[in-house]
Chain A
């Protein structure tokens, strides 16, 4: 009994003093805190909506012309390029009525880097442009198909059903394959890859290499229309017919970007 009495007597003066503080100041302090919290929340939401899913990734094999396409889209001029070792990103104003902008990100295509950079940027991706070298396609079809398979079966890509554009680059060279041919070859190759990749031995920690994704419908020949995301093919030429002097032949690409943005 005695200690309780002491406690009550200890606390009493404090409670009295609190009650004595005018309600106005207390209320205003509480209101200010609420306002700050609300603005923070709203700001975060806006930021989140703005930054997430506003990037378009340029991916593809080494030497397919991604960096030159990047330069052409942004400035329209021609620059010499080397093998990229890291990504480059810039804001691109789309030529449509709304005048919206997307962030173009050019990822390196080298085998040892491509998956790492894809992992890093896929969360904020809105769409993917897969650049294919139409001249070397016949030689590289297996490598192109393997990378495309990895992109298509990536869990984030599937979850967000990112639209995919396969840009058949280097059309200015006479030996370039047409988009239709490339589409047929890729479908055939992906059909075989479905079987071989799912049969590969599982990785050390027990998970299979491609997750649990099954590309397309079982039993039927693989077709790009079977995929949950939209896949289109366009032809383009980053270098253009006159290289440094002329402009690039990338109107189809620009139109697609305008639709996506």
Chain B
């Protein structure tokens, strides 16, 4: 049933491989490589299964001996024994070849022969059998069922007897309900008393009174229901007798009376001015604050501070007993860590990881991503042997730092100038599109990037495809004038380095972009920078319009502009933008976001978590960082500096 099972070292050597259903050996390397690249290297190791084409891959890491166990089977099958199988194989393999791993290191791996087939087949058979042990429950035969034991007589319904049965049932139900009601009443009282130990006694009395009231109310309701049951049984013979006499016109109780009878308002209140008793209206109470100045608008006051101490109290109580227990154990653990080699367990890492997660969230990393990152680091470190004089905290911090640097390293080449030179050689303009939500700095950073390109000797055409926002075209025109003043045509051999292509407001953005690209090709511009309107990720028609612009014009680079101030929103924005681009594209491989421009970086001092959130979600590099509003405020990302700022306490 399994397609394959491989065991390989983290350094890349395949130690043992089992071909199940599949034929050639090479077929297991491609999915495993995909697993490594997309899961392990991108720090998405929290979830231990991965889907690649038609296969599902499940994996387990052994961090002590640096091994990886991967099993692959068809996605449509749901095999329940796989997790257990991996664990068993892991234990067997590790115990059997412990010597090779510990003593000889890499050479041991290279020279050792890992003849594991029989053990593996044995374990596989055990696992398969254990999943089959529970035989499906056989259906009961008719003779065994309850229905066959009922007599035909008991099932005949007669008019007179039926209500008696009903009443009986109701009585039973009522008694059951009472029993369950009292149970239910006692359970909430117990729970309430358990959680409310701390607040003062006065409030406790008040609450108990209300509980008693509730109990009383419930009891009244039950009695009422039982009486109703009895009433119904009395009522049912009545309509039968009435029907026998013949049809009589139905008389509604209030039917023929006129509106006067139906008017319940007292005759004194309507239309009289002094019906509202003056004692009830207290102007001080109605107007609120006595010291209020007339006409002044006051600020919002918030009362969040009152709620916090209670939460802290509740949280502290359960944590105190834990801390006491941990004290002694912690001392011994520290000594053990100092003296010998201690392997990391989940419990050791949990508290440190919690702190690190909170630290990351405080640094503006999106909450889900901080959780996933910590999970992935935990998986990478579980079972690892710590060296002497290293604490759990330092190991976890080190591992987290490495994985953060790993995430920020670009997965593809980030060199725009090189690609522009390529496009120059092919005599076509290099098209860059800027997209993002409202107010993130698209037009400002577009101007900065065009300044940088002009400095490097490339001529730029700016396409004003923001046909919605008031002043968008004028803004770009002002930038064009300024840039031309800074780099006049005389100093570049007579060619204007920047030009604006605009068609005013209200037109179709995709059409303008297409015309701009054609114009650039005819006039020999090197780069076309397309500025689009800001749009919210939830706005479906606008997202469709953007996707259409990108699908029709196939730009060389699609840059998502995001501000560094954004927190959890970044995840939502990027996911929805990518989804929209993928959904509305006709091509086989849709054009997604190729790079990120992180703007307003000067406004955050060291809360640089947005960089992590954005690169983690898209796995695309941060191409530029905007650090101000002048033309020189354009930087590239330095992964180490960002991670240092992030890990700083």
Contact = CB atoms under 8 A, between A and B. Distances in A.
Nearest to B601: A204
A112 B106 CA distance: 23
Interface string B262-299: 00000000000000000000000000000000000000
Contacts of A142: 413, 415, 418
Nearest to A197: B415
Contacts of B601: 204
Contacts of A227: none
Interface in B373-424: 402, 405-407, 409-413, 415, 417-418, 421
Contact of B406 (A81, A112, A204, A205): A112
Q: How large is the interface on B (under 10, 10 to 19, 20 to 34, 35 or more residues)?
A: 35 or more
A80 B14 contact: yes
A113 B380 CA distance: 15
A89 B14 contact: no
B418 A196 contact: yes
A235 interface: no
A209 interface: yes
A84 B107 contact: no
A83 B10 CA distance: 8
Nearest to A116: B405
Nearest to B634: A201
B356 interface: no
A192 interface: yes
B338 interface: no
B637 interface: yes
A200 B417 contact: yes
Interface stretch (B31-39, B95-103, B181-189): B31-39
A82 B407 contact: no
B9 A83 contact: no
B417 A199 contact: yes
Contact of A79 (B10, B110, B452, B638): B110
A67 B413 contact: no
* Interface size grouping (class) on chain A: 35 or more
Interface in B11-27: 11-14, 17, 25
Interface in A108-131: 108, 110-113, 115-116
Contacts of A174: none
B406 A203 contact: no
A193 B42 CA distance: 28
A143 interface: yes
Given A81-B8, A111-B410, 5 more contacts: A85-B11, A88-B13, A111-B409, A112-B41, A116-B406
Interface of B: 6, 8-14, 17, 25, 29, 32-33, 36-37, 40-42, 66, 68, 105-107, 110-111, 402, 405-407, 409-413, 415, 417-418, 421, 452, 455-456, 601, 624-625, 627, 634-638, 641-642
19 contacts: A75-B111, A79-B14, A79-B110, A81-B13, A82-B14, A82-B32, A84-B10, A85-B10, A85-B68, A88-B9, A88-B106, A90-B105, A110-B37, A112-B411, A113-B409, A142-B413, A142-B415, A192-B421, A195-B417
Closest 5 CB pairs of A and B: A88-B11, A84-B12, A203-B638, A196-B417, A80-B14
